[in-house]
Amino acid sequence: MSIVSMRSFSNLGDDRGSLVVLNQLQEIPFTVKRVYYIYGTKDEVSRGFHAHKELHQLAICVSGSCRMVLDDGHSREEILMQSPEVGVDLPPFLWHEMHDFSSDCVLLVLASDLYNEDDYIRDYEEFLDRQKNDEI
Ligand code: TYD
């Protein structure tokens, strides 16, 4: 089974252009408490390199493209984010990295809670240890 959970969103656009709507607890699988977006990422810069203990997020590349690496401690998968009509779920305990941002990339992230540094696992070995302990 894939560790990647992608969500497809309907485009309600018409001859004027596109429109995508994300409703809380419908297209977004949680109650949104925070929204942030990453843009203007410099060449060769990668971001992320962490997992969360409790936070659930939904990431959408609303412009441009980037490559996302997801890792659940057992397998690692890559996805090319390049459509504003597709979201990727970032549930707790899913290590994620973002690479190869195009200069026009805008990565929109919806989050289930406010920013809390204590919720981050930024060390990959610690992430693997916690995953193993969780399974015992
Ligand atoms: P960082 O975690 O390094 O971003 P990324 O995971 O994309 O590499 O975040 C950069 C800085 O911004 C860091 O000092 C924490 C801060 N920050 C907040 O204050 N609130 C937030 O919601 C986020 C996502 C980051």
Q: Is residue 16 a part of any domain in this protein?
A: no
Q: Is residue 19 a part of any domain in this protein?
A: no
How many domains are there within the chain? 1
Which pLDDT belongs to residue 110? 98
Q: Each residue's pLDDT tens digit in the chain (136 positions)?
A: 899 999 999 999 999 999 999 999 999 999 999 999 999 999 999 999 999 999 999 999 999 999 999 999 999 999 999 999 999 999 999 999 999 999 999 999 999 999 999 999 999 999 999 988 877 6
CATH of the domain at 61: 2.60.120.10
Q: Is residue 119 a part of any domain in this protein?
A: yes
Q: Is residue 74 a part of any domain in this protein?
A: yes
Q: Is residue 92 a part of any domain in this protein?
A: yes
Q: What's CA 131's distance to the chain center, in Å?
A: 19
Which pLDDT belongs to residue 132? 82
Ligand 1 probe mutation, 36, 68, 97, most atoms within 8 A of CB: 36
Q: Is 115 in the pocket of ligand 1 (CB under 6 A)?
A: yes
96 is in which domain, residue-wise?
Answer: 6-10+24-134
The active-site residue out of 50, 52, 74, 99 is: 50
Distance CA 103, CA 92 (A): 29
Q: Is residue 115 a part of any domain in this protein?
A: yes
The secondary structure of the chain as a DSSP string is: --S--EEE--B--BTTB--B---BTTTBSS---EEEEEESPPTT--EEEEEESS--EEEEEEES-EEEEEE-SS-EEEEEE--TTEEEEE-TT-EEEEE---TT-EEEEEESS---GGGEE--HHHHHHHHHHHH-
Atom of ligand 1 nearest to the CA of 38: 7
Distance CA 104, CA 120 (A): 27
Which pLDDT belongs to residue 136? 62
